[in-house]
Amino acid sequence: MMRAYPRIAIAGFQHETNCFGTTKAGLTEFEMADSWPAMLQGEEVITETRGMNLPIAGFANAAKEAGMELVPILWCAAEPSAHVTDHAFDAICGKILDGLGAAWPVDGIFLDLHGAMVTESHADGEGELLRRLRAWAGPELPILVSLDLHANISEDLVDLADYIAIYRTYPHLDMAETGERCVPVLQHLLAGERLHKVFRQMDYLIPLHAQYTSATPGRDLYAVLPRLEEAGVLADIALGFTAADLPDTRPSCVAYARTAVAAAQAADHIASLFARLEAQSAHPMLSPEQAAKIACQPRAAMPVVLADVQDNPGAGGTSDTTGLLAALADAGAQNVLMGLFHDPETAAAARKAGQGGLFRTALGGRSGVAGDKPFEANFEVLALGDGICRYSGEMYGGGVAALGPTAALRLTGAEADISLVVTSIRNQCLDLAHFTHIGLKPETFDTICVKSTAHFRAAFEPIASAVYPVAAPGVFPCDLGRFPYKNLHPDVRTAPAKG
Ligand SMILES: [Zn+2]
C-alpha cells in the first residue's frame, strides 16, 4: 500500500577510479572539499547542494515537488584517483547503512553514484554497495541509481538496481537533470507497476578525448535516446571509463520498458548503432612538439586551446606533468596561459617570495610517468590567492572549488612568455574562473593550455578559435593501444576494427 507521502532515503557516493593511478582515495579525500563539496550528512545533503548541477540536487528538488518526503543520509565524492581504500569504502557504506537504519521504514532509495568505482577489494564498488543495501533492505524495496556517463556498468549492478539513469552529456551539463529523471520512474514503481530491463555491453573502447557529446560518435548515440523515449522505452548509454583494467571496462546501455521485447529491441538498436560508429571513435591527437608549432603561429582573433588530455586530474591524472610546458618553452611560444598545475610546494614557495617576487623552482613532474620530469625555471609571482574559486560556467555554476593556496606565475629569463596557475589541491581546469579568480583573463592570451580531456569544452570553446587534444605524458593515456591492459574482456578492442 503506497503512503500518501512516500518516504525516500537519498545518498551519494562518487568516485571514478583510475586503476593505473598512483595515489589512492582514503576517507580524508572523501571528507575534504575539492572540485565538489566536502562530505555532507543529514539535512546538509539537501541544503548544501540546492541549485547545484548534481544528481542528488536534481532528484531532491523534483521529488519534493512530487510530494515525496526525503530522508537525506550522506553525500560525498573524492577527486578521481587510484583505488578507494577498503577503510574508506567500508566506513562510507557503513554510514549509509546506519542512516538507512535510522530512517527506516522507507519506501524507496535514490543513490547518486558514479559507476566506475574500484576499491582495494572490490572491482565493482557500486555493485558491492548495492549488495550490502539489498541484503539489508530486501529484494522488494525500489532502489534507483544515477550514474556518470563514464560508468563501467556490471550486470550485477543492473540486476540489483530497479532503475539506472545515466548522464547524456560530456561535458556533464545534465547531472541534476539525470537525478530528476528518476522521480517519475520511482512514482511508477511505487504505484506497483514494473519495468522489464535489458543490459548490453559493447565490444570496443572509446578513448576519453573522443567521448565528448557534441561530436560523433557520442552525438549520434545520444540522439537516439529521446526517440526511444517517445516510443515508451527509457534507455541510457554509458561510454565507459578507459583507465579501469577490468572485464566490465566497456561502453554499455540499459533499456527499461513495459515489455521485455520492447526493452530488448531498444538495446539491440543502440548496440547496432555502436557497431556502425566504431570507425569514428578514433580522434587524432597532436604531439607536444606539433602543439608548440601551432602555439607559435601568429594569432588573429581568439585563442587556440591545447588540451593536455592525458594529465586530467578529473580522470585520476596527477595534474603536474610538464611535457607540454617544456615543448612550449623550447619553442619560445608567446602569450601562453596554462593551468592547473598541482604543486603545493611551488605554491608555498611563491607565497614566500610574495607578490611581484622572483624565485626558482622545479615545477611538477612527480607523476612517475616515463618521460616526465620537473620543469626547473625562474618565475615571477603575478598573484597569490586562497584558492576559493566560484565557478562561472554552465557545468558547475553555483558551486565553489577549493584549490588550496594558489599562485599565478610567469616564466622569467626565458625566450618564451608563459603564465600559469599552480594550486595546492588537485582540480580539473574546466571553468574560466580557474584563471579569472586569480586575476588572469584567458581571452587575452594567444594560447590556453588546460589539463582536462573534454569538460573544459563547455566553458572554453566559446572563446576559442580552435581546440586541439595533445598527447603529452600523463597517467591517463588516450592512445589506448599503449595502455598496459591485462584484464579487459577478450571481445573488447582498444582501437577500431579494420575494414
Ligand atoms: Zn564523467
Q: What is the pLDDT of residues 139-197, one digit of tens each?
A: 999 999 999 999 999 999 999 999 999 999 999 999 999 999 999 999 999 999 999 99
Dist. CA 433 → ligand 1 center (Å): 20
pLDDT value at residue 498 = 63
pLDDT value at residue 92 = 98
Torsion of Cα atoms, 135 then 139 then 142 then 145, to 10°: 50
pLDDT value at residue 370 = 84
All three cell numbers of 237, joined, read 548509454
Dist. CA 172 → ligand 1 center (Å): 7
pLDDT value at residue 3 = 67
In contact, 195 and 185? CB cutoff 8 Å:
yes
Dist. CA 417 → ligand 1 center (Å): 33
Dist. CA 335 → ligand 1 center (Å): 31
Dist. CA 410 → ligand 1 center (Å): 32
Dist. CA 239 → ligand 1 center (Å): 9
Q: How many whole angstroms separate alpha carbon 160 and alpha carbon 414? A: 59
Strand, helix or coil at 57?
helix
- Specify the DSSP element, H or E, that contains 473: none
- 175-194: buried (b, 16+ CB within 10 Å) or exposed (e) per residue? bbbbbbbbbebbbbbbeeee
State the amino acid at position 227 in one-letter form: R
Dist. CA 212 → ligand 1 center (Å): 10
Dist. CA 150 → ligand 1 center (Å): 5
Dist. CA 273 → ligand 1 center (Å): 22
In contact, 66 and 4? CB cutoff 8 Å:
no
Q: How many whole angstroms separate alpha carbon 457 and alpha carbon 218? A: 14
Residue of 241, 273, 252, 120 lying closest to 198 (CA atoms): 252
All three cell numbers of 178, joined, read 539525470
For residue 425, is pLDDT > 60?
yes
Instruction: Please report where in the chains the cell 572485464 appears, as a residue.
Output: 247
Dist. CA 106 → ligand 1 center (Å): 30
Q: Cα 483 from chain centroid? A: 20
Pairing of β 234-238 and β 252-257: antiparallel
Dist. CA 114 → ligand 1 center (Å): 8
481-499 pLDDT per residue, tens: 877 899 999 999 998 776 4
Q: What is the mean pLDDT of the chain?
A: 95
Dist. CA 62 → ligand 1 center (Å): 23
pLDDT value at residue 20 = 86
Dist. CA 467 → ligand 1 center (Å): 20
Dist. CA 263 → ligand 1 center (Å): 25
